[in-house]
Structure 1
Amino acid sequence: MEEWHVPGVAVGAIKDGAVVLLEGYGYRDLESKLPVTPRTLMAIGSNSKSFTVVLMAQLVDNGQLDWDAPVRDFLPSFRLHDDYATSNMRVRDLVTHVSGLPRHDLLWYGRSLDRQALFDRLKYLEPTTSFRGRWQYQNLMFMTAGYLVERITGHSWDALIDERIFTPLGMTRSNTSVTVMPQSDDFAYPYLLLDGELTRVPFRNIDNVGPAGSINSSVEEMLSYIQLHLDSGVVAGDTILSERNAVLMQTAQSAVGSQDQYPEIGPATYALGLGVTTYRGHKQVSHGGGIDGFISAIGWLPNDGIGVMVLSNMSGEANPVPTLIQRRVFDELLALEPIDWSARVRKDYEDGRQRQEEERNKRAAERIAGTSPSHALDAFTGAYEHPAYGRMEVTVRDSALQLRYDQFEVDLEHYHYDVFEVKGSGPDAALAGRVQFLMAVDGKIDRLAAPLEPALDPIVFRRVQEEK
């Protein structure tokens, strides 16, 4: 923890149905020196995805849903950019990352759009590959899966999670929104490492994409969830989901497409809301989760009766701690010689930082000195819109351009010609890169191109003609 500057960590482990480790380390509130405990609530991020799949599996068990039926059988208004994908997307395809879409996270992250609005805008999102062409991690399809469950049942995803999973598992303190978490008597604040300093950041509300990542829980309660999967869907004699679907959730559906660089880790595949691989020759089912100020790791070895949950309250690439701890606990419970995962990952991290520095230097060298914008700054101001991503507003403040995009507000620093660099920090750093303003044939600025999705060319926003 000290090496990676992580303020607080909670760890829980089970073996053969018994809790063998349940401990908190460090601080949930660094400023007040309040300790992390096994009860401390933290965001689990994308580890929420498998909860959504459990709800879907329950509907399949009840005959209300079919994994292999077209999504449009249940959501007739479902539409993607690609007509073939629209018609052929099966229910299970929603939760296996094969839609053909890249992440498009800035459609929902830091946005005020609700689930209905996000669903309605899917048809405007450009794919980067054909449907089922390759595995691409994607949050919006999981949001759609949660929306589908809501439409079938007539109840909110949040209420269903509480009624059908939290309650039977005794997860009485877990919740589905950061608006609720601070009401607890034991919760963690989120932190980022900014310029070498641990900095508390605001809770990030992602209720709009909740089925993909908004659950908050403790290691104490998450062990009950892991045990549910180790016991093939049964808790205290009651069947929460059928054994068939419990097994299906842990069965590979798609190849992730990359081999881990470490020989102890097998080829990566994805099941239904869970990753499947091998760890030192043992089948491993796992997933990670991350949102502003929190990183988590869930994992179990189904053939060995071992499960591990790790929560932490610092996010960013500088926090591999949950995965490192999880692997170390696996080593101990498997009675294997421990691997120094921290040393391996430290080298990878330093290599990555060097590549980032080289990329920054390359970008700096691309800048053409001595240029000026083609127009006075006032000519760039106004509103620009995209049918999916919505509205951006450009203003002038203190003789410089400023861009507002929903909850983001960043300065634009002149780079060269009509290109400006986004200057954001902390949570606003999600909106980054170079923004280019484009002219019509009449010489007026009429478009703005912003790099909102790294896997695609910049997204073009068209200037809104204000009514006179």
Structure 2
Amino acid sequence: MRRLLITALLAAAFAANADTTSAGHSYSPPEAFTASSTGNLLTFTAPEGDATITVVDLAGARDAADAVAQAWQLVDPGFKRTLRLATPRPARNGWVDQQVFDYETSPNEKLTLQAIVRRSSTGDGKAWSVLLLQAADATLEKRGAPIGKFFASLRPQGYQRESFAGRTARPLTPERVEQLKAFVADGMKQLGVPGVGLSFISDRQVVWAGGLGVRELGKPAPVDADTLFMAASNTKAMTTALLARAVDAGKLRWDQPAAEAYPGFRLADADVTKSVQIRHLVCACTGMPRQDLDWIFADGKAPARTTFDQLATMKPTSKFGEVFQYSNLMVGAGGFIAAAALKPGKEVGAAYDEAMQELLFGPLGMKNTTFDYAKVMRGNHAMPHGDAVDGSTRRASMDLNYTILPARPAGAVWTSPNDFSRFVLMELNKGRTPEGRPLIGEANWAERYKPQVMVGEDITYGMGLIVDTQYGITVASHGGDMLGFHSNMIWLPEYGIGVTILTNSDAGVLLRGPLQRKLLEVVFDGRPEADDRLKVSIANHQAELAKFRERLTLPVPAAAAKALAARYASPELGHVKVSRQAGKLRFQFDHWNSEVALRQNEDGTQSYMTIDPGVAGIEFVRDDKADQPTLVLRDSQHEYRFVAVKPS
């Protein structure tokens, strides 16, 4: 009764204090954005000034396309961008007929243009709302959390949010487990995912662990409960568990400056270096951006200290604690600092491997979980797969997956359904092993769940953990993504229920969100949305692949191939060797390679796109205005220039 009363009071407070659009739709404004309104237009501008979101309320439109055309006419009458793709979104939060219109931009613009159109299912059902996003890519990445929170929080007037607070959770009986397995199996089939490892937990006990499909396409060996997959960024939660053990042991403090604990830690910004405490290494809240290309193009055989070398050159791009920005290298440093404190005198990579085995994997009974890739390849393991340029699922090379090893506390762990479930049981047991033995003190176990930064509406990031309270209950989780491997772990701390999923194909990422939703529907009799979410995701994935292929020219025309130098070098990312093999143009990087296709951009420039399974879509723009042959590679906030190397 008390929980129901609190939920009702919170709902009433939200309703009383919510901002509204001209049509009365409620929303939470994006933090730090400046708001302005004129008539039926409501505009939010980012602090940087190069990103805006405009909400246009319309009394009526013939359809989604007409609503978008009306909105652009009001906001920018001269808007004439080429529509790249219009894709549907499932009905949700009181909105129906949802679609997203993405527009073509050239890579040199570093710009995203998008329209999101929704029709209200409340009132007379004729009103539409259009959200027009015009944003510099760098700002969009930095401010993605507040923008996403705003998009999610915008709800039609009179709509009541779904809540599971106060409901009795139904156990995962064999019948309900079969329902969830069938849901995953159907998604696998439609997406072409070769194999999935799964485990289900109910009443703090594993009720099923096993596999669906095969470890490798074209081979009969099935996935089972002991098949190892890369769990990628789920390593982060394991690393924060090791940090908690170090704090328990008095070797570290959560509020201890990182540079005090480990003098080799430093960033390019001295003030930020001083501000970073142990907890901040794993909070995604320091303003350090997602600068992944620096390690993706690096040597996977390099020593762990290279993580600290790379961080020493990097600067934050937002204020400390301001927004969610995900840095793999910061977490890598966090794990190595914990290891150095627990195993002084050892090389930090070896210390981390040893500490994780002795203090986490061993006590938890995670018998096969490891960072030893060679050992994995000799045993029961899945292989990675990705989308080929023709739309089929193909085996992907493992080469790029080795590049995370020097920063392995952020994403290099291999685990199985059996082992993965034992880690989730530890979380459900508040730091105790599945058998109830103390592992992490409850205070330091709980510290990892405390909000460090906002990720979305009613979603926060703790220390390597996502905590979601949008349905009035707590859902803890984390995902993991490496080439050809995508995973998730989900648990309901108040109810002793959990799920883990490990997949061996890039399309497997589309199973994760719908599975979490399906779990909540099965357990709490929620609104039936998961099936439609998965159906729409699959259709959109196929449409995106088709559009990607449509813009490519294969084989690369002779003139475009001739315009390339034989070799290029970047001071940050290494070398590119250009070669033709059996009529195919390939880019050979220092530690991995891919065939490339040509893409003609809107501004007349040309790009070379990687197309091998798992690495498709990495874009190199040829800069014909440079003094020397140059290829430009960008992520949202950084630019790397590969300049031709003269033959020796």
Give 1:324's aligned residue. Answer: 514
1-side partners of 2:222 and 2:355: how far apart?
A: 32
Give 2:461's aligned residue. Answer: 270
1-side partners of 2:298 and 2:208: how far apart?
A: 39
1:188 aligns with 2:382: yes
1:298 aligns with 2:489: yes
Letter of the aligned partner of 1:450 in structure 2?
Answer: V
User: Secondary structure in 1 aligned to 2:191?
Assistant: coil
Give 1:405's aligned residue. Answer: 589
The answer to which structure, 1 or 2, has the higher relative contact order (CA under 8 A, 6+ apart) is 1
1:23 aligns with 2:210: yes
391, 412, 415: which is aligned to 2:574? Answer: 391
2-side partners of 1:103 and 1:134: how far apart?
A: 12
Taking the TM superposition and a 5 Å limit, the aligned residue runs for 1:422-441 are 422-429=609-616, 431-436=618-623, 439-440=626-627
1-side partners of 2:257 and 2:205: how far apart?
A: 41
Question: Are the structure 2 counterparts of residues 312 and 448 from structure 1 closer, same or farther at C-alpha, using a change threshold of 3 Å?
Answer: same
1-side partners of 2:608 and 2:414: how far apart?
A: 35
Gaps of 5+ in 1: 260-266, 365-371
User: Secondary structure in 2 aligned to 1:179?
Assistant: helix
2-side partners of 1:22 and 1:414: how far apart?
A: 45
What do the CA deviations read for 1:46-83 (whole angstroms, capped 9, x no partner)? 11111111111111111111111211102223222323
Taking the TM superposition and a 5 Å limit, the aligned residue runs for 1:232-243 are 232-235=430-433, 236-243=435-442
Give 1:6's aligned residue. Answer: 193
2-side partners of 1:274 and 1:246: how far apart?
A: 11
Indicate conservation of the 8 Å contact 1:6/1:319, yes or no.
Answer: no
Give 2:453's aligned residue. Answer: 254
User: Secondary structure in 2 aligned to 1:39?
Assistant: coil
Give 1:230's aligned residue. Answer: 428
Give 2:129's aligned residue. Answer: none
Question: Are the structure 2 counterparts of residues 402 and 326 from structure 1 closer, same or farther at C-alpha, using a change threshold of 3 Å?
Answer: closer
Q: 1:211 Cα deviation (Å)? A: 0.6
Indicate conservation of the 8 Å contact 1:268/1:277, yes or no.
Answer: yes
Q: 1:307 Cα deviation (Å)? A: 1.4
347, 350, 371: which is aligned to 1:176? Answer: 371
User: Secondary structure in 2 aligned to 1:300?
Assistant: strand
Give 2:135's aligned residue. Answer: none
Letter of the aligned partner of 1:207 in structure 2?
Answer: L
What is the number of residues matched between the two proteins?
439
2-side partners of 1:325 and 1:340: how far apart?
A: 11
Deviates more, 1:430-439 or 1:38-47: 430-439
1-side partners of 2:613 and 2:263: how far apart?
A: 40
Question: Are the structure 2 counterparts of residues 394 and 12 from structure 1 closer, same or farther at C-alpha, using a change threshold of 3 Å?
Answer: closer
**What is the TM-score with the length of structure 2 in the denominator?**
0.61
Identity of aligned residues (%): 26
**What is the TM-score with the length of structure 1 in the denominator?**
0.83
Indicate conservation of the 8 Å contact 1:150/1:156, yes or no.
Answer: yes
Letter of the aligned partner of 1:219 in structure 2?
Answer: P
What do the CA deviations read for 1:80-102 (whole angstroms, capped 9, x no partner)? 23232122111111101123232
User: Secondary structure in 2 aligned to 1:289?
Assistant: strand
2-side partners of 1:239 and 1:137: how far apart?
A: 31
Taking the TM superposition and a 5 Å limit, the aligned residue runs for 1:47-446 are 47-112=234-299, 114=302, 115-152=304-341, 153=343, 154=346, 155-184=350-379, 186-194=380-388, 195-203=390-398, 204-205=401-402, 206-235=404-433, 236-256=435-455, 258-259=456-457, 267-278=458-469, 280-316=471-507, 319-332=509-522, 334-337=523-526, 339-348=528-537, 350-351=539-540, 377=563, 380-386=565-571, 389-395=572-578, 403-409=587-593, 411=596, 413=598, 420-429=607-616, 431-436=618-623, 439-440=626-627, 445=628
Indicate conservation of the 8 Å contact 1:400/1:413, yes or no.
Answer: no
Deviates more, 1:99-108 or 1:46-55: 99-108
Gaps of 5+ in 2: 1-187, 553-558
Indicate conservation of the 8 Å contact 1:176/1:214, yes or no.
Answer: yes
Indicate conservation of the 8 Å contact 2:252/2:338, yes or no.
Answer: no
Q: 1:426 Cα deviation (Å)? A: 1.9
Question: Are the structure 2 counterparts of residues 294 and 391 from structure 1 closer, same or farther at C-alpha, using a change threshold of 3 Å?
Answer: closer
2-side partners of 1:396 and 1:237: how far apart?
A: 58
User: Secondary structure in 2 aligned to 1:187?
Assistant: coil
What do the CA deviations read for 1:239-262 (whole angstroms, capped 9, x no partner)? 211100111112221111x33xxx
1-side partners of 2:249 and 2:370: how far apart?
A: 25
User: Secondary structure in 1 aligned to 2:252?
Assistant: coil
What do the CA deviations read for 1:288-325 (whole angstroms, capped 9, x no partner)? 11212221110111011111111122124x64223433
User: Secondary structure in 1 aligned to 2:296?
Assistant: coil
Q: 1:413 Cα deviation (Å)? A: 4.9
Indicate conservation of the 8 Å contact 1:104/1:452, yes or no.
Answer: no
2-side partners of 1:25 and 1:103: how far apart?
A: 33
Deviates more, 1:428-437 or 1:68-77: 428-437
1:32 aligns with 2:219: yes
What do the CA deviations read for 1:108-132 (whole angstroms, capped 9, x no partner)? 1253153212321223235432332
2-side partners of 1:313 and 1:272: how far apart?
A: 26
2-side partners of 1:268 and 1:125: how far apart?
A: 28
Letter of the aligned partner of 2:244 in structure 1?
Answer: A
Q: 1:208 Cα deviation (Å)? A: 1.9
What do the CA deviations read for 1:15-59 (whole angstroms, capped 9, x no partner)? 222222323222223322222222222111111111111111111
Question: Are the structure 2 counterparts of residues 393 and 39 from structure 1 closer, same or farther at C-alpha, using a change threshold of 3 Å?
Answer: closer
Name the Cα RMSD after superposition. 3.2
Letter of the aligned partner of 1:243 in structure 2?
Answer: E
What do the CA deviations read for 1:318-349 (whole angstroms, capped 9, x no partner)? 642234334323433x2424634131243255
629, 633, 646: which is aligned to 1:451? Answer: 633
Give 1:367's aligned residue. Answer: none
Indicate conservation of the 8 Å contact 2:483/2:615, yes or no.
Answer: no
Give 2:56's aligned residue. Answer: none
2-side partners of 1:430 and 1:351: how far apart?
A: 17
Q: 1:350 Cα deviation (Å)? A: 4.1
User: Secondary structure in 2 aligned to 1:451?
Assistant: strand
2-side partners of 1:345 and 1:158: how far apart?
A: 37
Indicate conservation of the 8 Å contact 1:311/1:322, yes or no.
Answer: no
User: Secondary structure in 2 aligned to 1:290?
Assistant: strand
User: Secondary structure in 2 aligned to 1:136?
Assistant: coil
2-side partners of 1:381 and 1:328: how far apart?
A: 51
Q: 1:273 Cα deviation (Å)? A: 0.4
2-side partners of 1:464 and 1:84: how far apart?
A: 37
